[in-house]
Chain A
Amino acid sequence: MVNNKTIPYSLTAILVSIGIVYCLVASDEYQGAKESSSFGIDGETSEQLFETTFFSAIALVNFGLAAWVFTSKRSVLPYISSGVVSAALIVTYIASRTVGVPIVGVEYYVGKLDIISKVLQISAIALSTVAIYKFRNLKIVKGLVR
């Protein structure tokens, strides 16, 4: 039988991993911005600085969600938030590789960190869904018991 803490702990670990991946991506973008700047590619530099800021913010959001999931006892909100944020990031990524997104436009590269972050986000959505389903069933059972 699965321990009650399995889902929160697993989801916390996944969210922290997503945060770390985004920190690495932000760091890469910052290095890229410095390089582009040294070559005088101003357009690319501003794009990369925007991406650095964006990915750093996403990393902080994921760390915050991880802390919320870890410390939350009986609330379903952290799981809903984790699922929604992960889904939104996946949709944004797909848009950036197809129709394009503001400022950055269309990107053609699909890197290792991209794949890792998408797999982790899909896992976060799956675990959040299981947790929400579990809460819903628990509420139904409690309602029946009363």
Chain B
Amino acid sequence: MYNKPIYAVLMGLATVSLLLVTNVVGSYAQTTYTNQTVGSNTSSSTANTTGTNATSLPSNPVVKNLDEGIKAIKADDKSAGKKALLHAESALEGKSDSVDAEKHVEAAIQALKEGDTNGAISHAEQAKEKLL
């Protein structure tokens, strides 16, 4: 009587395990979540463009670090990329107007640790958008 639900759960688990092993779902989830975050924040980032001028001077070294990080990740140098992102995060710490950017940098570092370079670049780009 309880065969079908139990077998369905176990088959589902097996299928999900296979998908995760092939890295399909992990990358898709990260990219989809990232795209949704970009989509929902587009209007707010446009509205904030003039408002960020006051913070643009202190954030320039951060943007430079982010650019270096993105460049290093694209060149497949993950350790240099991670170092640049950590420097960026360190520079953003404690700044109440850059909390979103800091969170995206954190997400980029975590993505890089998991080997998801596309996710890392995507989050780093979003962090830059928040600062510019």
Contact string, B28-72, partner A, CB cutoff 8 A, digits 1/0?
A: 011001100100000000000000000000000000000000000
The residue that A108 contacts in the complex, of B2, B16, B23, B104, with Cβ under 8 A, is B104
A146 and B13 alpha carbons, distance in the complex (Å) = 40
- Looking at A1, A10, A108, A134, the one whose CB has the most chain B CB atoms below 10 A away is A108
A40 touches B90 (CB 8 A): yes
The tally of CB-CB contacts under 8 A between chains A and B is 89
Set of chain A residues within 8 Å of B111, measured between Cβ atoms: 109, 111
With known contacts A119-B13, A123-B13, A41–B2 Cβ distance under 8 A: no
Main secondary structure of the interface of B (DSSP, over half): helix
Q: Which residues of B contact A110 (CB under 8 A)?
A: 29-30, 33
Shortest B15–chain A CB gap in Å is: 10
Q: How far is the CA of A116 from the CA of B123 in the complex (A)?
A: 22
Question: What is the total number of residues of chain A having a CB less than 8 Å from a CB of chain B?
Answer: 34
Q: A39-B89, A110-B33 are in contact. List 9 more A-B contacts (CB 8 A).
A: A1-B3, A2-B6, A6-B6, A10-B6, A42-B93, A107-B106, A109-B123, A115-B29, A120-B13
List 24 A-B pairs, Cβ < 8 Å: A7-B2, A10-B6, A32-B109, A35-B86, A39-B86, A105-B103, A107-B106, A108-B37, A108-B104, A109-B111, A109-B119, A110-B29, A111-B30, A112-B20, A112-B23, A116-B16, A116-B20, A119-B13, A123-B12, A123-B13, A127-B6, A127-B9, A130-B5, A130-B9
